Amino acid sequence: MEAFLDTFFNGAVLARYAPSILQGVWVTVLLSVLIVISGIAGGSALACLRAYRIRLLSVLIVIYADIFRALPPLVLILLVFFGLPNIGILLSSFTVLYLILTLVLAAFAEEIVWAGITAVPKGQWEASRSTGLGFTQTLIWVVLPQAVRIVIPPLTNRAIAITKMTALGMVIGVPDILGQATTAQSFSANASPLMLAAIAYVFLFLPLVIFSRWLETRFAAPGV
């Protein structure tokens, strides 16, 4: 029991490394917020573009979405972080992590929002167009507000799944929660910093998971 406590909840180690892990919390939060905002915005924009059914554009969007949904994000992160410098492009590890996860989230968000747009019945388009609204106006005022209701629960789940992947930043040295914790762990030869990291993740993501559960029940009922 003593050995367990000493390994996972060592008071001295915890006190020493808590500040750096707290710094990591801010990095993780900042990354997550940036990724969620730009990933969902980008994915939604792509889904809207796809609604115009311009052949070539749609094909390109589908190819992008499929590739970024198929590849493990870690592969992309390593490829970009270690590959791009060879052709003279130097990006910070923070930027690489942000870019890749944004692109991955945007790919998933595009598919989810597109599914939401196509789930809105054709009659809604027709009613709107028959009263003189244009295609874009119909998309904005009639279709998207209905698609959003369909899309929010799966989009929230996906956003949580992707932001959790900020932990992958550790392998390229991003000073996020896990990055700080592994550094601390190797300096102190003690697992307590990792335990602290786990607790930090629970505090960050558990409210989001509960929130998404609430959203699911909130939007489950059809109609209003």
Partner 1 sequence: MTQAAQGAVAPPTLTVRGLRKSFGAEEVLKGIDLTIARSELVFVLGPSGSGKSTMLRCCNRLEEPDAGEITLEGDPVTGPKVDLNRLRLRMGMVFQAFNLYPHLSALSNVTLALRKVRRLPRAKAEALGLAALDRVGLKAKAGSYPAQLSGGQQQRVAIARALALEPSVMLFDEPTSALDPELVGDVLAVMQDMKAQGMTMLVVSHEMKFARDAADRVIFMDAGRIVEEGSPEQIFEAPQHERTETFLARFSGRG
Give the binding site for partner 1 (CB under 8 A). Answer: 121, 123-124, 126-134, 137, 141-142, 145-146, 149, 223-224
CA 205, 209, 210, 212 torsion: positive or negative? positive
Considering the complex, state which of residue 130 and residue 217 has its C-beta at the smaller distance from partner 1. Answer: 130
* Shortest Cβ 156–partner 1 spacing (Å): 19
* Shortest Cβ 47–partner 1 spacing (Å): 18
Considering the complex, state which of residue 22 and residue 127 has its C-beta at the smaller distance from partner 1. Answer: 127
d(CA 31, CA 36): 8
Residue type, 180: Q
* Shortest Cβ 142–partner 1 spacing (Å): 6
d(CA 11, CA 64): 48
Burial (CB count <10 Å: 0-12, 13-18, 19+), residue 59: exposed
Residue 140 DSSP symbol: I
* Shortest Cβ 53–partner 1 spacing (Å): 15
Other residues' Cβ atoms within 10 Å of the Cβ of residue 2: 6
Considering the complex, state which of residue 107 and residue 142 has its C-beta at the smaller distance from partner 1. Answer: 142
d(CA 109, CA 44): 6
Q: CB of 106 within 8 A of CB of 138?
A: no
Considering the complex, state which of residue 86 and residue 130 has its C-beta at the smaller distance from partner 1. Answer: 130
Considering the complex, state which of residue 95 and residue 136 has its C-beta at the smaller distance from partner 1. Answer: 136
Nearest to residue 5, comparing CAs of 184, 185, 190? 190
Considering the complex, state which of residue 141 and residue 214 has its C-beta at the smaller distance from partner 1. Answer: 141
* Shortest Cβ 122–partner 1 spacing (Å): 9
Q: Which value, to the nearest 10 degrees, does the dihedral of the CA atoms of residues 139, 121, 115, 157 take?
A: 90
* Shortest Cβ 134–partner 1 spacing (Å): 6
